[in-house]
Structure 1
């Protein structure tokens, strides 16, 4: 019986599955709170699966799975998946031989990649989980798709203090459009009312600016010009992507986004230990 290969990235919020069918990648997402659905889906579709698994909840899936699984280091899998997608998408030349990878999932992890080597150099608790949590606290909304829709419709600029606001009577030493303080404009909050859309838009901007600042500072320190941004938080979130791209370029760096970048960990797990040569 022929073996069927899968890569599974079990994150804190979403579980991502990749497999090959007729020479093409196939992708699936399931909320990690419904982890049993992942195992049932695999049972219903595959007869002799070889499962390479990674991610923060990989241990939990391993306990529940009826199939044997092989655990792959999460950071190793992510960077391997990024390298493969860059090559597959024809973007390796844009990234260069040395680049940053910023993975925005529930939180954010930042790596430097050079050739076949990688190093995790930092991270932040700011990420998709922050978007969900703060949006719920501010608006009572907890559906991710609804939060995305509301955030695209809002404008939270008046909730923030810009550099221009501080240097109101002279030319600022840096761009006046930069945010000096997220949610810092208390006087406006007292005088104006804001919509749910505005609150969520302000949260999105805070997350985008924070992770971009960390990424650009890391790129400066490690002397590279490119940041590759991946993660489920960017999926279907054009507003966040635009903020991150604009802020990265404003700081003098190049921002790259990968098609299916949120599946980097699952793809890297799939390809691990020589499977790339055996299957692709």
Structure 2
């Protein structure tokens, strides 16, 4: 076991954001920075720590490995994420209510879905639908590219009239499923031709499309695996209550129980930090 005086840093270097976790006086500290500022992040690490052991995961881990080759330990991304989720669930005293088998839906730049059972995990699949989709489509529709601005605008808008609902299709009879469900995202071209929609409405409609699509994938996988629990994590949820509400409502409508893990976007960094058996010394 390494000395308790040794400094350790867990990093999840994603496509959009770099999440950093480290232990300070017995407590976890959390930092988040834009991936395109890697040089600044390395400078920050060098100022903050003295010759730290860096445990890193994520798609941009190789950049850090090249910059700090003697200090970096690479960790498998999916393993780190699931290990971090399990630890954070226990930290938040949620493990007993969730049980041993559950789904993890990680919504970052894209979306990755995992099944966690006891001490094992399996990546089930994923989608290109995620935070990157929100940024890209919002920019195409409104010209806005700042994430915080997009979040605020999406919460102010109401884009449901841009969609076709099941009730719209079954307009003269009782629908076989809830009429409030979306039948086609951005499908109501008649409304688009007749009505004016704001930039806020467009972004709100994008948020709903992303939330409903991610939830549908998650619920279908949960059905196949025989679990009723979906744990949602990822940087896309940070500060985005509207997306959480859409996913929560739609997951419950489909008969599953959603959990939004506090600090869940740091799961990969936490799992990387705890890797190699140093958790007892660190925390």
How would you bin the TM-score normalised by the shorter chain? over 0.9
Q: How far does residue 94 in structure 1 lie from its aligned partner after superposition?
A: 2.0
Partner of 1:272: 275
**RMSD of the TM alignment (CA)?**
1.0
Please, which of 26, 34, 39 is the counterpart of residue 37 of structure 2? 34
| SS in structure 2 at match of 1:121 | strand
Q: How far does residue 64 in structure 1 lie from its aligned partner after superposition?
A: 2.0
Structure 1 unmatched ranges of 5 or more: none
Partner of 2:79: 76
Q: Decide whether the 8 Å contact of 1:49 with 1:67 is kept in 2.
A: no
Measured against aligned partners, the alpha-carbon deviations of 1:45-91 in whole angstroms (never above 9, x if no partner) come to 10120100000110122112375200000000000000000000000
Of stretches 18-27 and 213-222 in structure 1, the one that deviates more from structure 2 is: 18-27
Q: How far does residue 113 in structure 1 lie from its aligned partner after superposition?
A: 0.3
Q: Decide whether the 8 Å contact of 2:51 with 2:71 is kept in 1.
A: no
Please, which of 216, 221, 235 is the counterpart of residue 218 of structure 1? 221
Partner of 1:189: 192
Structure 2 unmatched ranges of 5 or more: none
Q: How far does residue 37 in structure 1 lie from its aligned partner after superposition?
A: 1.3
TM-score of the pair, normalised by structure 2: 0.97
TM-score of the pair, normalised by structure 1: 0.98
* Greater than 6 Å deviation, 4+ residue runs: none
Partner of 1:247: 250
Aligned residues: 280
Measured against aligned partners, the alpha-carbon deviations of 1:244-263 in whole angstroms (never above 9, x if no partner) come to 00000000000001110000
Q: How far does residue 22 in structure 1 lie from its aligned partner after superposition?
A: 1.4
Q: Decide whether the 8 Å contact of 1:151 with 1:200 is kept in 2.
A: yes
Q: Decide whether the 8 Å contact of 1:52 with 1:72 is kept in 2.
A: yes
Partner of 2:119: 116
| SS in structure 2 at match of 1:47 | coil
